[in-house]
Amino acid sequence: MKPFTNHVKQLFEEYSASLCSPDGFGEVRRKALSCFLQKGLPDKKTQGWQKSALERKVRNNYSLKLKPDEYRPLEEFFKCRIHDLNPIALPMLNGWFVPKEDDPCSQGIIACGLINAMQNHPNLTLPLVQHQNIDKENGLTALNEALFSDGVFIHIPDNTKVEIPFQIVSIVNTKDNCLINNKFIISLGKNAEATLIHCDDSIERESSFTNNVTEVFMGENSRLNYYKTENKDTDSILVNSLFVHQQSGSKFRSTAITFNAGFVCNIFNVNLNKPYAEAELNGLYLVDKQQSCDNHIFINHAAPDCVSRQMYKGIMDDEASANFHGHILVAPDSQRTAAFQTNRNLLLTDKAHVTTKPFLEIYADDVQCSHGATVGQLDEEALYYLRTRGIGEAAANRLLMFAFANDIVQNVEIEALRDRLSNMVQHRLQGELNVCSQCMLSDDITFPIKL
């Protein structure tokens, strides 16, 4: 048994009685632990994980947060700088939901902590919490099922459109080396519509390991826009596993942006289970120094007449590394499938590294499918063009990088969020995220600029 696997076993044996679980859920946790002990963490023998840095990053001295911290309003430890957004805030602090006195939801909408929902709405939550077949997934999913402390539950009833976006803010703010397992359950009824923003951030620079699992259940003709941002410290590990289950006519659209993290891995598993379902996935990762970013995307076309589109872009600087593993499966009889996948990468140094593997597995004959990947450097002709217009070399480089990255940001439909993310990309390319006295571009350059 590997050291980390044995460490998890010891944590479970020591603290299983203290884990907050509704009656009868203990057996589910024990089954999940058994599965994790068999599988362990994904390693170089696991499909798609051959180039991953996860094994090298984990520690064997993590602790668990067995109870929430003393209540503090979200504004005391985190302030969102997205002006004019005013979302329905669902804050998580060190693995525990931070409740609020007021509940802005109505019309049968439920948006609360997961443990609270499991206790007060068991008929809605328990079947969904136990829906994931952990035996068929990697050990990270089983680890989450065994040790999750809390999370968020969102339920949108049939024929309900929520105009205000939900925002899950997952904060790590502790000096302990914590192992944090958050579970998020999102359920949309028939013809329901919603927008979810999910932000992962750190405050303290400690060696935390956050293992998120999000399950999205989409009813017929439902709509979900999902925006994921990650801005973690360089000592942290962050794994986000997202499972989407789509019924006929449903539309799922996501944009995931990684700004910072010691190691971050996004595992997106989208299942188009019924005809006329659509999924669009866009992603951007910006890593430098010795940061690592993995993206594992699996799209399962299990029904005919479904559409999926993917566009992922990355910029790697210094000694940073990235790994893109994309897999599209078109099942037998899934005729008239349209599936497109693209991964584009910029390497800014000789020591930066990316591994990209787009992959199609097709068992139907009436399909339109394509995949492609590029790895390169900035366009010399475009740089020359900008230099001849009086733009300095450093500014010209950043202009081209921004144009490359901002193409993903423009998929965000919320104007206030789109503007904020665009601003964050600019400052990230400058080497920081905070508002600084010097813009990344010289004062004589104004966006938008046509290249």
Q: What is the pLDDT of residues 131-167, one digit of tens each?
A: 777 767 789 999 999 999 999 999 999 999 999 999 9
Residue 385's pLDDT band (cuts 50, 70, 90): very low
**Average of pLDDT values for 309-314?**
96
Q: What is the pLDDT of residues 166-195, one digit of tens each?
A: 999 998 888 888 999 999 999 999 999 999
Q: What is the 3-state secondary structure (H, E, C) of the chain?
A: CCHHHHHHHHHHHHHHHHCCCCCCCHHHHHHHHHHHHHHCCCCCCCCCCCCCCHHHHCCCCCECCCCCCCCCCHHHHCCCCCCCCCCEEEEEECCEECCCCCCCCCCCCEEEEHHHHHHHCHHHHHHHHCCCCHHHCCHHHHHHHHHCCEEEEEEECCCCECCCCEEEEEEECCCCCEEEEEEEEEEECCCCEEEEEEEEEECCCCCCEEEEEEEEEECCCCEEEEEEEEECCCCCEEEEEEEEEECCCCEEEEEEEEEECCEEEEEEEEEECCCCCEEEEEEEEEECCCCEEEEEEEEEECCCCCEEEEEEEEEECCCCEEEEEEEEEECCCCCCEEEEEEEEEEECCCCCEEEEEEEEEECCCCEEEEEEEEEECCCHHHHHHHHHCCCCHHHHHHHHHHHHHHHHHCCCCCHHHHHHHHHHHHHHHHCCCCCCCCCCCCCCCCCCCCC
Which of 326, 351, 377 marks a domain boundary? 377
Which tokens go with 318?
């210094």
Q: Are residues 373 and 383 in the same domain?
A: no
Q: Are residues 349 and 368 in the same domain?
A: yes
Q: Are residues 275 and 422 in the same domain?
A: no
Q: What is the pLDDT of residues 240-265, one digit of tens each?
A: 999 999 999 999 999 999 998 889 99
Q: Are residues 350 and 395 in the same domain?
A: no
Residue 204's pLDDT band (cuts 50, 70, 90): low
User: What's the pLDDT score for residue 215?
Assistant: 95
More reliable by pLDDT, 106 or 200: 200
Give the total number of structural domains in the chain.
Answer: 2
Least confident stretch, 85-89, 218-222, 323-327, 393-397: 393-397
**Average of pLDDT values for 391-409?**
81
Nearest to 154 by CA among 85, 93, 216: 216
User: What's the pLDDT score for residue 427?
Assistant: 87
Q: Are residues 225 and 323 in the same domain?
A: yes
Is residue 61 predicted with pLDDT exceeding 70?
yes
Other beta carbons within 10 angstroms of residue 239's beta carbon come to 24
Q: Are residues 422 and 394 in the same domain?
A: yes
The residue with tokens 């632990």 is: 33
Q: Are residues 217 and 101 in the same domain?
A: yes
Q: Are residues 369 and 443 in the same domain?
A: no
**Average of pLDDT values for 317-344?**
95
Which of 355, 377, 399 marks a domain boundary? 377
Q: Are residues 429 and 417 in the same domain?
A: yes
Q: Are residues 388 and 340 in the same domain?
A: no
Residue 382's pLDDT band (cuts 50, 70, 90): low
What is the CA 348 to chain-centroid distance, rounded? 25
The neighbouring-strand residues paired with 224 are: 194, 252
**Average of pLDDT values for 194-210?**
86
**Average of pLDDT values for 385-413?**
78
Q: Are residues 426 and 297 in the same domain?
A: no
Is residue 21 predicted with pLDDT exceeding 70?
no
Is residue 102 predicted with pLDDT exceeding 50?
yes
User: What's the pLDDT score for residue 431?
Assistant: 67
Average pLDDT of the chain, as a whole number: 86
**Average of pLDDT values for 284-302?**
94
Which domain, by its residues, includes 197? 3-377
Q: What is the pLDDT of residues 349-370, one digit of tens each?
A: 899 999 999 999 999 999 999 9
Least confident stretch, 3-7, 30-34, 105-109: 105-109
Q: Are residues 134 and 238 in the same domain?
A: yes
Provide the whole-model pTM.
0.90
**Average of pLDDT values for 371-390?**
68
**Average of pLDDT values for 299-308?**
97
Which of 377, 394, 412 marks a domain boundary? 377
Least confident stretch, 28-32, 88-92, 119-123, 432-436: 432-436
Is residue 39 predicted with pLDDT exceeding 60?
yes
